[in-house]
């Protein structure tokens, strides 16, 4: 597998600004940017009318003022929700953004993005296709495309089917026995692992395969620096503290 250039920074702000602002909102990405980050991680899924928007959970219960499956709502309904009051009064009335809105922000700020494809149950392949197609459109002409990652292999297959040129990474909370075959079939350039999985042997193996590595979600700076010293390429973190 050929090793393409890793064009992304070492530090990636998780869901915009970690825990400091309502996740996956433009307010979070602005706060992350103000804290010195130049790359962000977000979660993307589909509305009932196939608009790509930002949300982590399968339901709206935790991070909005309504309950129910995220996929059951059309975009106009989702856009009207309060996605900030759950976090704090300061962010009351904050709305859910589309991927297009976040792309505009990132391109204007010269920031990079890791888009985790987070399908609603039963929509893995379609979500991968729609996210990749939208990313392809939104970042057309940009020198550094977003990195598409997912735990769902079918979502990555969907992305691969419509935009094979976009970089992909396989997310793993546990090391799958067939991960070599998976990253090869999906033509991934990276793996993104739960940080305790990493050791010198695994990092050496990843590099030998011509792949890059991301570690999530690392909120202890000593642990983060140790992972970087071992050779992990990028750290996804909730902490907005000074990173150096």
Alpha-carbon distance of 21 to 42, in angstroms, equals 13
24 touches 15 (CB < 8 A): yes
Q: Which residue among 14, 173, 180, 194 is the active-site one?
A: 14
Which H or E element spans position 39?
Answer: strand 39-46
225 is catalytic: no
Residue 95 CB coordination number (10 Å): 18
Closest-CA residue to 46 (of 98, 108, 104): 98
Residue 220 CB coordination number (10 Å): 11
Which H or E element spans position 63?
Answer: none
Enumerate residues 6+ apart whose C-beta is below 8 A from 242.
36
Decide the pairing of beta strands 11-13 and 234-237: parallel
Alpha-carbon distance of 142 to 122, in angstroms, equals 32
14 is catalytic: yes
Catalytic residues: 14, 56
């Amino acid at each position: 597998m050929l090793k393409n250039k890793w064009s992304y920074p070492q530090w990636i702000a998780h869901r915009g600004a970690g825990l400091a602002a309502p996740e996956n909102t433009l307010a979070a990405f602005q706060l992350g940017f103000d804290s010195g980050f130049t790359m962000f991680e977000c979660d993307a899924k589909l509305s009932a009318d196939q608009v790509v928007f930002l949300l982590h959970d399968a339901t709206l219960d935790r991070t909005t003022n309504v309950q129910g499956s995220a996929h059951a709502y059309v975009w106009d309904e989702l856009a009207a929700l309060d996605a900030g009051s759950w976090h704090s009064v300061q962010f009351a009335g904050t709305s859910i953004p589309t991927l297009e809105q976040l792309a505009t922000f990132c391109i204007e700020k010269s920031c990079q993005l890791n888009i985790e494809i987070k399908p609603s149950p039963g929509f893995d392949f379609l979500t991968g296709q729609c996210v990749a197609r939208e990313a392809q459109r939104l970042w057309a002409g940009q020198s550094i495309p977003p990195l598409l990652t997912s735990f769902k292999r079918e979502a990555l297959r969907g992305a691969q089917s419509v935009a094979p040129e976009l970089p992909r990474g396989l997310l793993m909370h546990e090391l799958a026995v067939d991960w070599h075959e998976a990253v090869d079939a999906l033509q991934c350039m990276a793996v993104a692992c739960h940080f305790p999985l990493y050791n010198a042997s695994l990092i050496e193996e990843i590099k030998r395969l011509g792949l890059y590595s991301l570690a999530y979600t690392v909120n202890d700076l000593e642990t983060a620096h140790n992972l970087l010293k071992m050779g992990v390429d990028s750290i996804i973190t909730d902490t907005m503290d000074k990173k150096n």
